[in-house]
Amino acid sequence: MDILTLLIASAAAFSLALLSAVAGFGGGVLLLPVFTALFGLRVAVPMLTLTQLSSNASRAWLNRHDLRWRVIAWFALGAIPFAVAGGILLSHAPLAPLKRLLGVFLIAVVVWRRLRPSAPRPSDPQFAAVGAASGLGSALLGSVGPLTAPFFLAYGLTRAAYIGTEATSALIMHLTKLTTYGAGNLITHQTLTYALALTPATLLGTWTGKHLTTHLTDHRFTTLVELGLLTAGALFLIGF
């Protein structure tokens, strides 16, 4: 194992796990270009999924008293089959056009929220469609957490309820992806070794971020999430 590579990856994992714990998403989106630069895209996507297991599991546990289980169940209904399909397509799909399309969507969502602040609240069953789109995109790109954020926010979730519910939904999706990646021989000994080595940094970042959320009002929290959506959209558009 290259120690310098491990140190760089650990620092990135800590910083972006902290961001995810505060905003509910964003760590995976920003960690993907770091992992791609260090390991290459085909290794980066499965390894990012392994790294996100500890991040999402710890966020789900720390916010377990505020989970919305009906939303999680409907999300999983759509996410599981489409995560399997995305995992199978990973070795063949043209990723660059899909990233740019997702970037346009994320920026448009923030603009739409600002123009229509009283948008209708999504119903529980509609999260099956959110899960389907998220499962497919996440399996191909490693992380599309910002894709789900607008729908959880429109549902009325904030802070602990939002972070915990989103993390639990993502955890179910990541476990499905890993099963598919393993069947397709996309998870190697190197991938497992690095993911295990990054777990302490990820857990520490999540714990630190959890304590920072107590100082945010609902309005500031929503603004932070929207800024994260714009940042993620811009990163996708420029090809990160």
87-119 pLDDT tens trace:
887 766 676 776 777 678 778 777 876 776 666
The stretch 223-230 carries a mean pLDDT of: 74
35-92 pLDDT tens trace:
777 777 667 778 878 877 877 888 899 889 999 999 999 999 999 999 898 888 776 6
pTM of the model: 0.71
**Average pLDDT taken over every residue of the chain:** 79
195-219 pLDDT tens trace:
788 888 878 887 787 777 666 666 7
CB under 8 Å to 174, separation ≥6 — which residues? 49, 52, 53, 56, 138
Q: What's the pLDDT score for residue 88?
A: 82
Closest by Cα among 172, 89, 76, 179 to 131: 76
